[in-house]
Structure 1
Amino acid sequence: MMMSTIMMMITLIIASMMMLLNMIISKKLIQDREKSSPFECGFDPKSSSRTPFSLKFFLIAVIFLIFDIEIALLLPMIPTMIMSNINQWMLTSITFLLILIMGLYHEWNQGALNWTK
């Protein structure tokens, strides 16, 4: 009991010393405009809120996010193949891949993947 209390006190003292040392060493300027100003997605909050925004860039970002989520859903398919019934796994995998391919075809058909125009 006494040993754990001593260890707790030593840990508390070391943590307090490290926090005090960090406060002494760190350089904080109150007048630093960049750090004290709010950050809103790269836009200056003091300017007009009606600045033009590239819709094409937004669509590319959304499509990238969708493909990123699709990859995250595809990655666990191989390890689950070992633990599940092969026929059920094959049916589920083919259905999932067909849905993804149909979505890709729809995006391609609508021209969402053509961002050069």
Structure 2
Amino acid sequence: MPDYFHGYTVVGLVAVVGVLFVAFAFLAGRLLRPSVPTPEKLMVYECGVDPVGEGWAHTQVRYYIYAFLYVIFAVDAVFLFPWATVFAADGFGAATLVEMFVFLGFLSVGLLYAWRKGVLTWT
């Protein structure tokens, strides 16, 4: 029975050491940093410019479409590389080929949507 819990003991010990390490780093940072609050230091920082007006800002909807396009291409790349390795294995050829065409169909619908919205034009 003690050999069974040995693995859990090692994992628990590593977790405790990790938590203590992070706690020590935060404590050392708090003790070593200078603390001289001034009105300039307590002011909100906006990329080097003094903030003006309210904190609410409107965002263009087109940026969400750019993010949507990025997700389409990122997921495509993440899925294509493992698919290429499995496709070469014995017994997986037909099934993975059908799965890839279904996946590429979904991507095509997303690209068609972006094209219809005018995102793919450089004007």
What's the TM-score, normalizing by structure 2?
0.51
1:33 matched to 2:42: yes
Shift of the 30–102 alpha-carbon distance from structure 1 to 2, 3 Å rule, reads same
Shift of the 58–90 alpha-carbon distance from structure 1 to 2, 3 Å rule, reads closer
Deviation at 1:86, TM superposition (A): 1.0
Q: Equivalent residue for 2:80? A: 74
Deviation at 1:77, TM superposition (A): 0.7
1:63 matched to 2:54: no
AA matched with 2:96: W
Q: Equivalent residue for 1:104? A: 111
Structure 1 unaligned runs (5+)?
A: 1-7
The number of residues matched between the two structures is 95
Structure 2 unaligned runs (5+)?
A: 1-12
Structure-2 separation of matches of 1:79 and 1:45: 52
Structure-2 separation of matches of 1:84 and 1:50: 57
Deviation at 1:93, TM superposition (A): 1.4
Deviation at 1:107, TM superposition (A): 1.8
AA matched with 2:28: M
Identity %: 18
Aligned CA-pair RMSD: 3.9
Runs (4+) of structure 1 exceeding 3 A deviation are 44-47
AA matched with 1:76: P
